[in-house]
Amino acid sequence: MSDIDELIDRAAHDLAASSYAIALTGAGISTDSGIRDFRGPDGIWTKNPEAEKRAYETYFRFLRDPGQYWKERLTMGTSLLGNLREAQPNPAHYALAELEKMGIIKSVLTQNIDGLHEKAGSQRVFEYHGSIYKLRCPSCGIRFRYEEYDLGALLAEGKLPPRCKECSAPIKDDVVHFNEPIPSDVAHASLEEAHRCDLMLICGTSAVVYPFAELPRVARRKRAGAGLFSPKQEKATVIIEVNAEPTPLTAEGISDYLIQGRLAEILPRIVARVKELRH
Ligand code: CNA
């Protein structure tokens, strides 16, 4: 067996033996759906660091003048990521959905905003950085589908920004921008999942964006802390990374092992092996 075959086999055994596995995903899982990532070798920020600096301002522009923010969004051209709505899931998304159907993966915590996990059939998805399909009220936290607002009409009538149907505060797109707090519902749910899981499968993230990158560390500390504050030794959480390149989680030994390669190839092979083990 090659190194990679051995690691795929090991991951399949670990998943089959887990009782509460969760997946954490980042932009790398969607590159095979034609969506560029930010920090991979061909990433948007890697190629255009100026665009990253400008992105740091986006949330402040909303806070300063929500009406103007919306006017610019509705009148300026396409987003940096292109037309995400046309993208389709790839075999890596389907593999995670299948592991959920098999009862192995209990939830997917994703940084992605592209909605591809749900399109692939994953049911329990926490969108940590929001979704391109939704709007959110920063004041009361309620979310709306874009279809619930006629933004074109509000623009034409000079009635921007759109306002929350519950509390009438100005609402923004659901996507979480730099400097913007993570919505408290997904932040809490994700933290709970990180505490609860006994296996974390981390897919396609450079693991440098916080607080999401804290979640593997939470799972890791649970193990390190066991015995320090609690008399009962907790079962160690297995942390597996699948990524095209090593990350800080690899370097710091937060993950137990890295399966280095393309997610669309590796995840379906893991699923196939789990199925063999279950027969
Ligand atoms: P990132 O920082 O761009 O890192 C992506 C990681 O995935 C890198 O380490 C790559 O080497 C790796 N990678 C790329 N392609 C593959 C592949 N096919 N197989 C295996 N590994 C691969 O992205 P993060 O998610 O870590 O950063 C968080 C940001 C990126 C979040 O705020 C997202 O909203 C944002 N983002 C989302 C999307 C999307 O929704 N699809 C796209 C681009 C950026």
pLDDT tens digits for range 136-154: 999 999 999 999 999 999 9
Pair (12, 60) in one structural domain: no
**Domain match, 165 and 266 both:** no
Render pLDDT for 186-210 as a digit per residue (tens, 0 to 9): 999 999 999 999 999 999 999 999 9
| Domain total of the chain | 2
* Ligand 1 centroid from CA 233, angstroms: 35
Q: For residue 131, how far is its CA from the centre of ligand 1 (angstroms)?
A: 15
> Tokens at residue 17, please?
């033996």
Mutate to test the pocket of ligand 1, among 4, 36, 37 (most ligand atoms within 8 A of CB): 37
Residue 240 in this model has a pLDDT that exceeds 70: yes
Q: 159 and 245 share a domain?
A: no
CA of 243 to the centre of ligand 1 (A): 10
Q: Which domain holds residue 220?
A: 1-35+88-129+182-279
**50-99: per-residue pLDDT in tens?**
888 888 899 999 999 999 999 999 998 667 777 889 999 999 999 999 99
Q: pTM for the complete prediction?
A: 0.93
Beta-carbon count within 10 A of 107 CB:
22
Helix (H, G, I), strand (E, B) or coil at 114: coil
Supply the mean pLDDT for the chain. Answer: 93
CATH number at residue 200: 3.40.50.1220
Query: Residue 103 and residue 109: Cα distance in Å, rounded?
Result: 16
Pick the catalytic residue from 93, 129, 177, 188.
129
Q: Are residues 148 and 24 in the same domain?
A: no
With a CB cutoff of 8 Å and minimum separation 6, the contacts of 171 are 135, 136, 137, 138, 144, 161, 162, 163, 164
Question: Are 139 and 193 in the same domain?
Answer: no
**Pairing of β 134-136 and β 143-145:** antiparallel
Q: Is residue 129's pLDDT more than 80?
A: yes
Ligand 1 centre and the CA of 98: distance in Å? 21
Do both 61 and 152 map to the same domain? yes
Looking at the fold, whether 22 and 101 belong to one and the same domain comes out as yes
Output the ligand 1 site: residues, CB below 6 A. 26-28, 30-32, 35, 37-40, 43, 81, 111-114, 129, 204-206, 209, 243-245, 247, 262-263
Judgement on whether residues 269 and 161 belong to the same structural domain of the protein: no
- The minimum-distance atom of ligand 1 relative to the CA of 212 is 28
Annotated catalytic, 129? yes
**Whether the predicted pLDDT of 227 surpasses 60:** no
